[in-house]
Structure 1
Amino acid sequence: MTPLLTHVKRSLFLRLLLIFGVTIVLIFAIIYISLQQLNQINSNQIIEIPDYFVRNFETIIIDDIGTPPDLEVAALLAQDLEWTIRIEHPDMVWRSDNDYRLPVELAEYSRTLSSDAEIRTWNGEDIMVVERNGYRFYMHQRFLDNTDFNYVVLYFGLGIAAIVLFLNYFSISRLLSPVRLLKEGAERIQRGDLGYRVSTDRQDELGELTASVNHMADSLQSMLEAKRQLLLAISHELRTPITRAKLQLEFMDDEKNRDALLDDINEIDLLISDLLEAERLNNTHSVLVTEEVDLSAFIESVVDSFNSDSSEIRFTGLERDEEVVIDRLRIRLLITNLLNNGVRHGRGKPIDVKVSFANEQATIEVIDQGEGIAEEHLADITEPFYRADNSRQRNTGGFGLGLYLCKLIAEAHGGNIHIASEVDKGTHITVTIPREPPEFKTTN
């Protein structure tokens, strides 16, 4: 293979340029040939009548017609020659057809052919005039209606052009087929299928791009696996000393200090759990352990199992069963965090939990009548470690990770969370999730 052909084979852009160039040349060639053919069809077959034809005309045709003319013979000759013959005499005017396109009387003299024959022209077309024994004979090419044939030529040209364009489309589609494969591969990787690789045998720019995407997937898979291992190591290394500390606290005699230290250690343990869970959910490759659940009954069970001595929790569910695909543990965590917030800031007033379903969307509402949140804090209240009172003491509400986790859980299910609140009137939190989560990497 020559270096030029090798370069063309390995360059997508040169092949595209070649395809477009060949297509343009073929289209122009088809147009030119079609126009030339139409011009040839529509042009006069005899523009100038040669002298030898006139001599034959005089010696054979005129003699065959005779003077006085035999009109039947004249009609047969006109039909065979595909010419128009007109015969004039003071006593008669006869023509072989109804072709009046050439006004023979107005035609201009061109040249003399013999003593009784001359050529006249009209718009570039010759008319032969012969006078013999008082009869004048006019003869010119008959007008042939080639309209139907013109359409055939036109349609044939258009058909060839359509075939060329189809072949052009087919060639470009085949050249760009790896783009579709790359799109499908990128979507599968985005959904969490990190083991998927795009296969191709191309050696051009798209082949190089495919190799780069596969290499990126390798790197991403390695990075996320390292991150997973790091989270497991952190979880183990942090919880092991916490467990030992809890065990040692059991042997302390001072009950007051022991309980205070135990509360601090439990809070650290909870903080570690929340941080790890937030890190797991805070990427598009989070794993949801999903299953079909009767959402209303499930949330009612979570509400019933929630212990609160300070606030009454009222539940309003669906009258019918609605199956929704969710991760039970994550949704339980979401509901529990929202209830904890409601109890913590609800001033002991009732908390309403409502479940509804419409347009393939499930809606969970948690409504309290407590302190409320100032409007300037609503936009940031779901950010990690954000708290409206800038405090992280236990008695004022923890570390600011609860609503952040709720947002991540809702988004992992393909939904969202909306918070509306007024100071001293309460907070209304709405979580919306689809009947089925998007195509994340899930396990059942």
Structure 2
Amino acid sequence: MKTLAALATSLVALTQVAFAQGVSDNKVKIGVITDLSGVYTDIAGNGSVVAAELAAEDFGGKVKGVPIEIIKADHQNKADIASSVVQKWFDTEQVDAIADMVTSSVGLALQQVAVRSKKVALNTGAGTSGMTNASCSPYGVSWVYDTYSLATVNAKATLQSGGDTWFFITADYAFGHDLENDVRKVLEANGGKVVGSVRHPFPTQDMSSYLLQAQASGAKVIALANAGQDTITAIKQAKEFGILDDSKVKVVALLAFEPDIRAIGLSDAAGILMSSGFIWNRTPETTAWSDRFHAKTGKRPTSVQAGTYSAVLHYLKAVEATGTDNADKVMEAMRATPVKDMFADGGTVRADGRMLHEMYLVQVKKPEESRDSWDLFKVVGSVPGEQAFRPVAESQCPLLKK
């Protein structure tokens, strides 16, 4: 009996070793490459690092018997810096996957770095729809939102409420360009009209001249095709110029997050329509996870941070299922397995890397509707993933043509 018991123990040990041998360097190492010091630090930043750590924590710090390590770096919103850091991670620091990548120019550059190195790129912050369109990758996934879904959800709702003439104030880089272009297509297809647009440097501390141009255009909708501090500045200055109090004009924040609205204040931001892939207190499950996040950060998570948790968790599940960190096998498993967690229930990863999930149309609450300083949004509509994101028939991604 002792011999049989010893044999059984040896077989278990050999099985564990076999699994460990499928993981390079006997460790699963994930690098969170994000904005730790700039305009997007509140919507991503250290919050995304904490979210990734929570995903690792839910695996007990190990997957298939080997440790999970989360590291971080500040890309400073510069594609060259981000590429240099991540290439070093892949070449000399045995990083298996990267996550976050907030800022579209950074995301586009890093997805190509990951292709060359055959590593997994979990995009949870870069918003350009090009990541899963013309610049799609067999090793890249885009998890939270993109410019196509922001256009589909928000622009259609604004059109339906009478906002049929638009003026764009657009951040002059990939995200802003793609967001404006995607919204333009929705407007043209649904009877809307663009009466003007202006582009501003990224980032910008003074939006006054752009807002005055928008106001002078006579447009019913002033659309902010920017994010982070640029959106905050634009809305605050729109309030100063009386634009927010003009019943004939709607200011639409095409992408905004909880920290943005807190910085602006509900009294100024109330009623603004936005779209989001995640609302922290929408369900008991989202609230419970957000309570864990809050306990570590003192803040409620943005959709980028919640999406980082979900993407890293799904990646770790794929490593567990395949017994390896080989990028091809892991990506195959990620595409084959439905996403089921507090972020998405029944989400699917398409061949172009687009994770399809429900998107929500939300409205900023009035001060009297809010229960606490983080209770900012009410969900006023939702769009299924198959309708919110770019359909296969419109895609330029060659991976969808196979």
Indicate the TM-score class for this superposition, using the shorter chain for normalisation: under 0.3
Which has the greater radius of gyration?
1
TM-score, structure 1 as length reference: 0.22
Select the structure with the greater relative contact order (CA < 8 A; seq sep ≥ 6): 2
